[in-house]
Amino acid sequence: MCGSDEGIASPDVPSREVLGTTDSPDVLEVLMEADRPQEILETLCQFADGHTEDEKARYVFRLICDEFLENIASYAYTSGNGPVYAAADARDGLRVILMDKGVPFNPLTDAKVPDVNLPLEEREVGGCGILISRKFAKRLEYRRIGDWNVTIAVIIEGSED
Amino acid sequence: MDFETTVEGTTVTVKASGKLDSIGAQEFSQATDGLSKGMKSIVLDFEDVSYVSSAGLRSVLKLKMGSKGVDLRIVKAGGMTAEIFRTAGFGSLLKDA
């Protein structure tokens, strides 16, 4: 699943230099079709579980990957399927990069967040994913690089965070 | 997920185990469909629910909305799972909170 020094084996994935990753046993890169979110999720979580003993960090890692991968699978590609690139980086702390080539979407500004103060009977179904991702990630970042939506989540802060 | 359902009078208790993720949420909705009929309270025992995502929250919210007039409670939810319910504004359902 890992590519060359220039990045994973796809011509238009941003380079490792741009993404801040590298060829290392502590970095896992995955490139799959978006309609396989569970497969991507389990691959990433298996890697994270092997790199941290912190049960809460494992839970949060799964939660954030799950939320973003399900959103990509459901909404990113309005006409069919498309690629998802994911990189889990455990060299210093733990972070994950999730990318798709779907419609431009900044989850930090474009997502509708529910009013948690409303009685449950008056709540709309949906919107909780970004809410809980924001709450439990140490940091969330969004970039648009070329045709890619790039979301970066820091789960365990490293020395430079 | 696995579900064990017990009825005592007008209280139905569902003991769930596994991950309440997108797949688990579908199973939860199937397991709780029509559950509130003739009941005054629904107790969801989440002691063995190891994980909940927003899909799981949605499935609980749908059960709540479809159970008007029925008291719905979640009991024994673990640390992070309970924290997720509280963060999403579902804290009123947590009996142990």
Where do the structural domains in chain A lie, given as residue ranges?
Answer: 16-156
Considering only CB atoms, B87 lies closest to which of A38, A70, A132, namely A132
pLDDT digits (tens, 9 = 90+) for B39-83: 999 999 999 999 999 999 999 999 999 999 999 999 999 999 999
Q: CB distance B61–A132 less than 8 Å?
A: no
Q: Which residues of A touch B (CB under 8 A)?
A: 37-38, 56, 59-60, 62-63, 66-67, 70, 114-118, 120-121, 123, 125-126, 128-129, 131-132, 135-136
Structural domain count, chain B = 1
Nearest CA-CA distance, residue B73 and chain A, Å = 13
Q: CB distance B62–A117 less than 8 Å?
A: no
Q: Does residue B81 sit in helix, strand or coil? A: helix
Q: Buried b vs exposed e over A78-103: b needs ≥16 C-beta within 10 Å? A: eeeebbbbbbbbbeebbbbbbbbbbe
CATH number for the domain including B71? 3.30.750.24
Q: Which of B7, B77, B56, B1 is nearest to B36 (CA)?
A: B7
Distance in angstroms (rounded) separating the CA atoms of residues B59 and B44: 12
Domain span holding position B58: 2-93
pLDDT above 70: residue A91: yes
- Rounded to the nearest 5°, which phi and psi values hold at A135? -65, -40
pLDDT digits (tens, 9 = 90+) for A112-155: 888 988 988 888 878 899 999 999 999 999 999 999 999 999 99
Chain A interface disruption, residue of B54, B80, B93, most A CBs within 10 A: B54
Q: What is the dihedral of CA A121, B44, B42, B1, to 10 degrees?
A: 100
Distance in angstroms (rounded) separating the CA atoms of residues A19 and A2: 14
Q: Which tokens go with B30? A: 């199937």
Q: Looking at the domain A16-156, which fold is it?
A: Heat Shock Protein 90 (3.30.565)
pLDDT digits (tens, 9 = 90+) for B3-50: 999 999 999 999 999 999 999 999 999 999 999 999 999 999 999 999
If pLDDT is split at 50, 70 and 90, which confidence band does A5 have?
very low
From residue A127, alpha-carbon distances to A18, A118, B21, B23, B82 in Å are 30, 14, 15, 18, 18
Task: Identify residue B2 by its one-letter amino acid code.
Answer: D
Contact A34/A83 with Cβ under 8 angstroms?
A: yes
Write the ipTM. Answer: 0.91
